[in-house]
Structure 1
């Protein structure tokens, strides 16, 4: 009987360990189809933890017209939940929507209004690029220049939009 009890406890421990833990990426936010948990080391997904250089914001062509783009021509987004130039996206949100970070003042490419460029300090101490006081983000599901899979998406308590040259949501 004692061996059977030990075997049962061992089996229960194995099953419990396989069910996940505190670092399972869960969130109290309802998940929407376009929310993802991005790998912070994925070469396709820029991360907020390693600003290698001074960021450059340019204009890129998409199916909805010209929008702001960052590294590799990837679309930049604004989050309507952000207020007063400060990001309200962290943890699981920042894995799905990596902030566009910089090491120094961002640079404006052709067609980008340098006066609208700025920065804000994130809770983790990194410096995030802003445009027209909107913190800028990538979307983890955008893998190529011109992708706008994050445009007009509702997630993490607010709407997400690609950013036009005027600093407002791009029109589709």
Structure 2
């Protein structure tokens, strides 16, 4: 009987180790797999809450996101081909948007967490085909950049340039590649939960479907 229990325990530990290895292999750079946060991450951005948890870590404040003046094709570890802005931050697309015709459905609280990549002209392009770049006018009158018709965004949960913690958030947000397609090279599982909007906008109104946009 003791030998049976020992065998079951060893098998259970092996299965847990395999699951942890799979999660680590597709975790964004700097992500933790032990449900703790390193000091540098705490100083820059609140941690994602555990999937299934009851609350989200609040964001104390978030600086205004500048206009996107540059679109640059880049390649980053584990993820591969991405598009970044002039500051090196990775851009994303949203499954609840549409490309034909281009339309953003991320507004209000959603747009506080996923700031639209807006422009007042034509962004400089590096490695991105001009034929896939366009704009769509948002409800507030600003012009949001599109790739192959898909509006693109930054994510306030990314602590630094090159980070991609927004990948697969809510199962609807994905890193965008230079052609406008979703980059599905690496999908963290289970789908991460987004950070909350900045405290100043926590009481903002929501759009027709709750404005949650996957958080």
User: After TM superposition, is the score higher than 0.5?
Assistant: yes
- The question of whether the paired residues in 2 share the 8 Å contact of 1:102 and 1:128 is answered with yes
Give the C-alpha shift of residue 36 in structure 1. Answer: 6.5
Where 2:87 maps in the other structure, the secondary structure is: helix
The TM-score with structure 1 as length reference comes to 0.67
Q: 1:36 to 1:140 in 2, by over 3 A?
A: farther
CA distance in 2 between counterparts of 1:134 and 1:75 reads 15
The answer for the alignment partner of 1:146 in structure 2 is 162
The TM-score with structure 2 as length reference comes to 0.55
Counterpart of 1:76 (choices 87, 91, 96) is: 91
- The question of whether the paired residues in 2 share the 8 Å contact of 1:57 and 1:107 is answered with yes
Corresponding position: 1:119 with 2:102: no
Q: Which runs of 4+ in 1 moved over 2 A?
A: 31-39, 60-63
The answer for the alignment partner of 2:75 in structure 1 is 61
Structure of larger gyration radius: 1
CA distance in 2 between counterparts of 1:78 and 1:98 reads 11
- The question of whether the paired residues in 2 share the 8 Å contact of 1:119 and 1:128 is answered with yes
Which is richer in helix? 2
CA distance in 2 between counterparts of 1:34 and 1:113 reads 38
- Which runs of no fewer than 5 residues in structure 1 stay unpaired? 1-30
Give the C-alpha shift of residue 121 in structure 1. Answer: 0.5
Q: How many pairs does the alignment contain? A: 131
Q: 1:144 to 1:34 in 2, by over 3 A?
A: farther
Corresponding position: 1:168 with 2:181: yes
Which is richer in strand? 1
